[in-house]
């Protein structure tokens, strides 16, 4: 069943999914949409807690329990199935779905941030793409600004289509570093290719700057309603 919201995936790990996800949630909430947020699986979790999930929890108003926002947490900074196996555990997809349903019942829309890229394995024989399909959410793909992004973006979008995932759009994330002239020209080619699929581009952010300013809440809500 199609659900209202986004499943945020990336062309790689560390591409800026959490910054983008928090920006989208804050933008939509400031525009009047009650959207909840979830990071169903977080790996590399230390004693400080699941930092990505905690950031999403606060972006969504801070009222949802962390156990629902992030039901599965593992210490090893690896793919979910690897991190779980390292602890003698497994990835319980039903537990994720139950937490998602509790959150979805309290909000008008949902944003779920995946771990790594689209084909990162979760449970045995399952991937992040399968999780997006299971939750009924359209993909929002976060891509790098640097060299290699054309290939990585094309591969991700092609695989999403092959698997039957709806794609809401693409966000380019510059991260904290600048790009070379060659990278800039390369990126221009990608922008032209994406056309209306490109929902936003996040430049390098200053310390404390929110990505929400680069998203138009009304445009995002229209995207949610059209996919």
Q: Which of 39, 144, 152, 174 is catalytic?
A: 39
User: Cα separation of 27 and 226, whole Å?
Assistant: 18
Told to judge if 17 belongs to the known catalytic residues of this protein, a careful annotator would answer no
SS (H, E, C) 42-101: ECCCECCECHHHHHHHHHCCCCCCHHHHCCEECCCCCCHHHHHHHCCCCCCHHHHHHHHH
User: Cα separation of 16 and 174, whole Å?
Assistant: 8
Q: How many CB atoms are located within 10 Å of the residue 164 CB?
A: 8
User: Cα separation of 67 and 51, whole Å?
Assistant: 13
Query: What Å distances lie between residue 168 and 108, 127, 142, 199, CA to CA?
Result: 17, 19, 11, 9
**What pTM value is reported for the model?**
0.96
So what's the pLDDT on residue 126? Answer: 96
- Report residues of the chain scoring pLDDT below 70: none
So what's the pLDDT on residue 208? Answer: 83
Helix and strand element counts for the chain (H, E): 9, 8
Strand partners, 127: 121
Which residue shows structure tokens 């771990």? 115
So what's the pLDDT on residue 36? Answer: 98
So what's the pLDDT on residue 53? Answer: 98
Q: Which CATH number describes the domain made up of 5-226? A: 3.40.50.300
User: Cα separation of 189 and 148, whole Å?
Assistant: 12
Q: Provide the phi-psi class of 39: left if phi over 0, else alpha when psi is between -120 and 50, else beta.
A: beta
pLDDT in tens, 70-111: 999 999 999 999 999 999 999 999 999 999 999 999 999 999
Which of 76, 81, 79, 104 lies closest to 92 in space, CA to CA?
A: 81
What is the largest distance, in Å, between two alpha-carbon atoms of the chain?
48
């Amino acid at each position: 069943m199609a659900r209202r919201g986004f499943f945020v995936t990336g062309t790689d790990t560390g591409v800026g999914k959490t910054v983008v996800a928090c920006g989208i949630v804050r933008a939509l909430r400031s525009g009047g949409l009650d959207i909840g947020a979830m990071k169903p699986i977080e790996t590399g979790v230390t004693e400080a807690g699941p930092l990505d999930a905690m950031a999403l929890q606060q972006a969504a108003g801070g009222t949802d329990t962390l156990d629902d926002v992030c039901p599965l947490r593992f210490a090893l900074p690896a793919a979910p199935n690897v991190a779980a196996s390292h602890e003698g555990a497994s990835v319980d997809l039903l537990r994720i779905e139950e937490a998602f349903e509790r959150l979805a019942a309290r909000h008008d829309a949902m944003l779920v941030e995946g771990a790594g890229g689209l084909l990162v394995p979760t449970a045995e024989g399952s991937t992040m793409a399968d999780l997006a399909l299971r939750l009924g959410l359209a993909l929002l793909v976060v891509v790098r600004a640097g060299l290699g992004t054309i290939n990585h973006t094309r591969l991700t979008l092609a695989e999403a289509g092959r698997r039957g995932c709806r794609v809401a759009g693409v966000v380019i994330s510059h991260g904290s570093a600048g790009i070379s002239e060659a990278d800039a020209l390369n990126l221009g080619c990608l922008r032209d290719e994406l056309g209306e699929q490109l929902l936003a581009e996040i430049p390098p952010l200053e310390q404390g700057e929110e990505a929400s300013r680069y998203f138009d809440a009304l445009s995002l809500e229209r995207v949610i309603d059209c996919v």
